[in-house]
Structure 1
Amino acid sequence: MSTLAKPNLVQRLRYICGGTLPPSMAQWVIDDLTGPGAARRYMMRILIPIIPPLCLFLLIPGPMWMGLAMMALLYLPLIYFTAALMYVFRRARLAKHGLDPALADHRERERAAAAREAYERAHGRG
C-alpha cells in the first residue's frame, strides 16, 4: 500500500484559504474534496472561521438579543448558500488543481449505478 502524500501545516493552511497544492498531492485533493466527510469538512472550513468576526456584533451597545439577531441575519443565509454551492465549489477546486471537475460526482454516479443495477435485478431486467 503506497503512502498518500499529505500537505504540511503551511500547505494545508494555504489550501484551506484557496491555494493549490503540488501535483504530487493530487490524490489527497481528490480524497479531500470527494471522499468520506468531504461535505462536513467543506462546511466547517467556511462556517467556523466566520464566527469570531460575527461575535463583534455582541459588542454593539444594547440588549444581547439584538447582537445575536444581527449575527443570525448573516449566519443563517451563509449556512444555506454554503450548502447550496458545495457542488460548484468542489468542481472549481478540482479544476483549479488541474483535475477533472467530473470527479466531484464520481461517487454519486457509482451509487446511482449500483441502485439502478439492484432495481433491474429485482424487477427482472438485465
Structure 2
Amino acid sequence: MTENPADNTTPTSEPTPTPEPTAGQRLGYLLGRTLPAELHPWVVADTTGPGATRRYATRCLIPLIPILVGLLLIPGPWIIRTGMVLLLFLPFVYFLLALKNIYLRHRLVSHGLDPALLNIHQRRRLDQEQASYESRYRSAP
C-alpha cells in the first residue's frame, strides 16, 4: 500500500501568520495611507504590539536627522551649533512621546478599528493582576 501525500492533512496548532503588507503598502502606511481590511491585524500588531513605541519613535525621528545634521553644518562655534540642535531635538522628543497615544489612536481610527485596542495589553495585565489579587486575598472562606 502506498500512502497518498494528499491524505496527510493533520491540523496544526500553530496560528496562521498575519499577512504582511508589500513594500509599496508599507511605504504608503509610513506616509499615512490606510491599508486594506485584510491587513488590519497587522496594523493592530504594529500599533499595540511589543516594540510599538520604538517603531513610532523611529518613524518620527528619522525625518528629523537631516535637519539636525544641517544645523550642525552651519558655520560658527560648536556650542552654538549644539545648542541649536538641542533646542530642536529635546522639545521634539518630549512632544513625540507625550502625543504617542493620540497618534496611535488616530492610526487605529483611520483604519476603521476600535481605538480601545490601544490599551488592550495594559487592560489584560491589569485584569490578570486583579484576578491574582482576588484569588489570593478575597477567596471565599
Task: Report the TM-score range of the alignment, normalised by the length of the smaller protein.
Answer: over 0.9
3-state DSSP of counterpart to 1:61 = coil
**Structure 1 residue 15: Cα displacement:** 0.7
CA RMSD of aligned residues (A): 1.4
Alignment partners' CA distance in 2, 1:75 and 1:22: 35
- TM-score for both structures, normalised by structure 2: 0.83
Pairs aligned (count): 126
- The percent of aligned pairs where both chains have the same amino acid is 44
Which residue of 2 is the match for residue 66 of structure 1? Answer: 80
The answer on 1:18 being equivalent to 2:25 is no
**Secondary structure of the equivalent of 2:131?**
helix
The alignment's TM-score, normalised by the length of structure 1, stands at: 0.92
Aligned 1:1-126 pairs, distance under 5 A: 1-125=15-139
Which runs of 5 or more residues in structure 1 are unaligned? none
Note the alpha carbon deviations across 1:16-67, whole angstroms, 9 max, x for none.
1211111110000000000111111111111122111121111222012211
Q: Distance in 2 between matches of 1:2 and 1:90?
A: 25
Computing the radius of gyration over CA atoms, which structure comes out larger, 1 or 2? 2
Instruction: Measure how far apart 1:121 and its partner are.
Output: 2.0
Q: Structure 1 82/125 Cα, relative in aligned 2: closer, same or farther at 3 Å? A: farther
Q: 2:11 corresponds to which residue? A: none
